[in-house]
Structure 1
Amino acid sequence: MVPPIPICSQFFQPHTLITIPFFNNNTISSIKQINPSILTTHSFSVTNSSIKKTTNNQLVDFKDKTTRFPIKNLVQNITSLSSSKTKIEMLQILEKNASEFQTISDFNNLLMALWIAQKSELCATMFTKLSSFHLVPDSCTYSIMIRCHCQKNEVEEAKRVLFTVLENGFVPDSTTITVLINSLCKRGKVKKAMEVFEFMERKGFKISVQQHNCLLKGLSYVGKIEEALEILMNMKKTNFGVDVYSYTAVMNGLCKVGRSDDAMDLLNEVVEIGLIPNVVTFNILIQGYSIEGRPMEGVGVLKMMKKYECVPDYISYNTVLHGLLKWNEIDEAFEVYKEMVEIGFDVDFRMMRTLVRRLCKRSWEEKALLEDAYEVFEKMKERVLVVDKRTIEVMVEACCRGEKFDEALVNLNDMVRWGYSVKAIAFEKVIVGLCGQGRVEEAVSTLFLLHANGGIGDLVSYDVLVNELNAHGRVFCASVLFGFALKQGVVLVPNKELQVEKWS
């Protein structure tokens, strides 16, 4: 059986299946140096089938082949060409090696090297020159060309090649057919993918579970979830088999159309039949509940993962936290945040900002939440050099309401240090609060900090300060501050004590 498609955390992301069947270890090592991201090995053999095979070329004895045909050097020559080189110049370099093409296997090596080097146009051009080397294409040649067309996003042409070679008795390997079906489904051409299925079945070709999974993913992508469910049920009844990726694809489709409960039923079925759900399976369900406005169910799925010994990843926690914040489940959001910090995950900064603001506003009524808000806020300050102005203002206000004026004053100084334009309203709350605690010296210093940075104290700030200075018997200071307020254009109405000192 062909190994499963590489899915896991990339299950619903675009990917390409690569087959490198005929390179020795030195060659593969060389190609990895050129482009290490494209190597994923799978089998590449002529598939057993009732269809008559017209070639027995199995591309074996790789070391002898690579010795006779210096594929490693050729790959390096191809990839070292600058982008300014034209296709004609590339062909000239390749044609210098024409004497090395003694068999179709040698030519296949060349085509595969070009494809791996992502020179699809050049690969297609060389294929048209096959007859000039007096060679006849075999099943492997056509398999490479199908992949080449998929790489060029020419899926219709790839499908046409497949139909043609099958009509002529050739059988491309199963992985190549999976590549084609997957390419069609990724582009939303599920009907075309179904045509490939039906054609292969008519030709007696056994459709693998991986190819079914590609189709399930494609149907879910275009919203044809009922058809996907029907195929899944048929897979369970027939000898095609079914794996966790089959269920995951359909669950994804269900969650996208708001049927997360049905997706949960499938998850329970996965466990019942002895399959092991992976982190992607659970993450899809968490995302579904979040979209439907049911974030607490997402928290339940997170706990379920631990029950089934599936370790939640960053996406699991991040999705749960996002849902909880979106639907204003702040208490639970803070608990998930703390768990992420304990594990060592870097929480998304935007979500930390949202969490701080929501906790601050809640702290106006629930004072105990202020400590939680400040904990997250301090973590934000550790992560970045500058915190956004609005978050600081909300934090200052919450500190003032919670009578944490020292913390409020620290944050006001941070605003000034970071170059934010200061607003009198934030300073006013701190000044009034400090005066209420009898800390008039610090209150006056806060007012001067405001003025030193281009702000102007408001009527309330001056009035409270003048009255507090009078109350402490510091009438002269109150008079000076009164005059300073007039100079700034703030008109105060003096109280009786101040009138005596000023006008007597």
Structure 2
Amino acid sequence: MLKPTRIHLVRQLSQSFSQLVSFCTSLGIEKVCQIVSGVGSLEDLEASLNQSGVQVTKDQVTQVVYSCKDQVHPRRLLRFFMWSRQKSSSDLGDVEFNFLIRIFAEKGDLTAIEILLHDLKKERRKMDVETWGCLVDTLVRFGKEDDAVGLFKNIESLNCPRDKGSFTKLVHALCQQGHAKKAEQVVWRSKNMFGMGPTIYTCLVHGWCLNGNVKEAKRVLNEMRNESIAPGILIYNDLLRCICEKNVKCNPSALVQDANDLMMEMRSSGVFPSSVSFNILLSCLSRVRRVKEACHILLSMKSLGCAPDWMTYFLVVRLLYLTGRIVRGNRIVDEMFNDGLVPSLRFYHDLIGVLCGVDQVGHALAMFARMKRNCPQECGPMYDLLIEKLCRSGEFEKGKQLWDEAVEAGFILQCSANLLNPMRTRVFKPIRKLTKMELEECRSVLNAITKEDEIATRKKRKKQRKGSRLRR
């Protein structure tokens, strides 16, 4: 038996050897990454890889591709993969092929995907369902929905299982891009084989809603009920968004009525509207500036059994600020904080931007003070916005105070220090509203100018007529 000291020495030697091997491996991967992310043609890339003498394994191939995917063109990754298939110490298997197809699908390189699919079919490798989902998503996103459907018809050539998983991935990809009609054709051909579940119905309703076709979406919803499948809140929210978007374009006055009718239908089906449902309606009301209805919905949400979230308050307050109701908006902000809600950065960023846009810099500074108390680490961009707004409005002292405060807090400002110099910054003076007397004077001046123009054009025409007569 070995003595304890010798056992300890053997363990140390084996540990140091493994560390040396991992260090050399990391050096090899780093060297390959530098070659792949370098410059030159694809032939130069392959020549550099041959000259390096590096031997890569299956795991190292995927590590190099993952490390370089955001830095280099996909064709360089494809050439490296093809080179690795010839030079790697172990044969690249199905896992590596699927991994690279997902990377190219993410990058949207359809030519590289086509090359890999050809090799995958030729070598009879297997494609997993996750890769199939990425593949059809990319094809449909780039307008190749017919190719995606054709691949599903011949999915056995990819050694991918024709099951409910691959079927659902295709329907979902088609409906996400609004190809509901084509998705229904696929469903009609395959529903006897795979059946119709809640996921398929949800995808179809979403697809028709993306097209703005309320009639077809309700038809699918009724078919779902006839199959004794209870619709979920996702379906109702999609339908609510579709109805509200249509009313924004055609009939804004019917927004609240149609939304209330659908929400009553939801409650009768056992699905209660969430804050997301009300936020969809409030967002559309904000776009058409329906202030009274938006405030009424905010007040009635609690009585309807739905607590508003910070996004609900944000939509109403933003609408009030845009329509000049600053004090009322501030009261609703205080109410939100009293309810214990903690808003995200978007709440502060967007509302400060709105207040600056409507020339309410004082209220924007008050909102900024709240932001500094709640999330002081994310105030950098707001310093830039407020300093420029203050200096452009002529309030250079307040702008200088904010500048010193930001520098003291350690923020790196993007705006120029020249803004603080009144001799170099152009101040935009606020436009004063004209009185009735001034408006009448402007109108009289405009009428006089138009009369003078008419008289001048008449005289010009008379001269042209006289000249034409003399020539005759």
TM-score, L = length of structure 1:
0.52
- Matched with 1:298 is 294
- Matched with 2:182 is 192
Q: In 2, distance between residues paired with 1:147 and 1:425? A: 54
- Matched with 1:284 is 280
Task: Report the alpha carbon displacement of residue 192 of structure 1 after superposing the two structures with TM.
Answer: 1.8
- Matched with 1:319 is 315
Deviations 1:242-277 (A, max 9, x none): 111010110010010115322232223323433343
- Matched with 1:90 is 81
Contact 1:111 1:123 in 2 (8 A): no
- Matched with 1:8 is none
The equivalent position to 2:213 in structure 1, one of 214, 221, 224, is: 224
Q: Using a 3 Å threshold, how does the CA distance of structure 1 residues 424 and 148 change in structure 2: closer, same or farther?
A: closer
- Matched with 2:437 is none
Within a 5 Å distance, the mapping from 1:131-170 to structure 2 comes to 132-133=122-123, 135=124, 141=128, 144-145=131-132, 147-152=134-139, 153=142, 154-165=144-155
Q: Does 1:206 align with 2:195?
A: yes
Q: In 2, distance between residues paired with 1:95 and 1:337? A: 65
Deviations 1:194-249 (A, max 9, x none): 22222222x43213322222222221222111111221122122134311101011
Question: Which has the greater radius of gyration?
Answer: 1
- Matched with 1:353 is 356
The equivalent position to 2:224 in structure 1, one of 235, 256, 262, is: 235
- SS of residue matched to 2:314: helix
Q: Using a 3 Å threshold, how does the CA distance of structure 1 residues 340 and 388 change in structure 2: closer, same or farther?
A: farther
- Matched with 1:75 is 62
Q: In 1, distance between residues paired with 2:306 and 2:172? A: 28
CA RMSD of aligned residues (A): 4.2
- How many corresponding residue pairs? 319
Report the AA paired with residue 216 of structure 1.
V
Q: In 2, distance between residues paired with 1:423 and 1:327? A: 22
Q: In 1, distance between residues paired with 2:421 and 2:266? A: 54
Task: Report the alpha carbon displacement of residue 313 of structure 1 after superposing the two structures with TM.
Answer: 4.0
- SS of residue matched to 1:293: coil
Sequence identity percentage: 18
Contact 1:181 1:214 in 2 (8 A): yes
Q: In 1, distance between residues paired with 2:399 and 2:65? A: 61
Q: Using a 3 Å threshold, how does the CA distance of structure 1 residues 307 and 131 change in structure 2: closer, same or farther?
A: same
Q: In 1, distance between residues paired with 2:236 and 2:162? A: 27
Task: Report the alpha carbon displacement of residue 157 of structure 1 after superposing the two structures with TM.
Answer: 1.3
Contact 2:58 2:90 in 1 (8 A): no
Task: Report the alpha carbon displacement of residue 388 of structure 1 after superposing the two structures with TM.
Answer: 2.0
- SS of residue matched to 1:207: coil
Report the AA paired with residue 151 of structure 1.
T
Q: In 2, distance between residues paired with 1:173 and 1:320? A: 47
- SS of residue matched to 2:312: helix
Within a 5 Å distance, the mapping from 1:70-469 to structure 2 comes to 72-81=59-68, 83=72, 85=76, 87-96=78-87, 100=91, 107=94, 109-118=95-104, 122-130=112-120, 132-133=122-123, 135=124, 141=128, 144-145=131-132, 147-152=134-139, 153=142, 154-165=144-155, 172-201=162-191, 203-258=192-247, 259-260=254-255, 261-307=257-303, 312-340=308-336, 343-345=341-343, 346-347=347-348, 348=350, 349-353=352-356, 357=360, 374=362, 376-380=364-368, 384=383, 385-386=386-387, 388=389, 392=393, 419=422, 420-421=425-426
- SS of residue matched to 2:193: coil
Q: In 1, distance between residues paired with 2:388 and 2:368? A: 7
Q: In 2, distance between residues paired with 1:410 and 1:99? A: 70
| Alignment gaps of 5+ in structure 1 | 1-69, 358-372, 397-408, 427-504
Q: In 2, distance between residues paired with 1:378 and 1:150? A: 46
Contact 1:283 1:316 in 2 (8 A): yes
Report the AA paired with residue 270 of structure 1.
M
Contact 2:388 2:399 in 1 (8 A): no
Report the AA paired with residue 80 of structure 2.
E
Contact 1:188 1:218 in 2 (8 A): yes
More contact order relative to length (CA 8 Å, sep ≥ 6): 1
Q: In 1, distance between residues paired with 2:104 and 2:154? A: 24
Deviations 1:456-501 (A, max 9, x none): xxxxxxxxxxxxxxxxxxxxxxxxxxxxxxxxxxxxxxxxxxxxxx
Structure with the higher fraction of residues in helix conformation: 2
- SS of residue matched to 1:352: helix
Within a 5 Å distance, the mapping from 1:47-86 to structure 2 comes to 72-81=59-68, 83=72, 85=76
Q: In 2, distance between residues paired with 1:374 and 1:131? A: 67
Task: Report the alpha carbon displacement of residue 180 of structure 1 after superposing the two structures with TM.
Answer: 2.5
Task: Report the alpha carbon displacement of residue 309 of structure 1 after superposing the two structures with TM.
Answer: 6.3
Q: In 1, distance between residues paired with 2:244 and 2:387? A: 38
**Segments ≥4 residues shifted beyond 6 Å:** 166-170, 409-416, 422-426
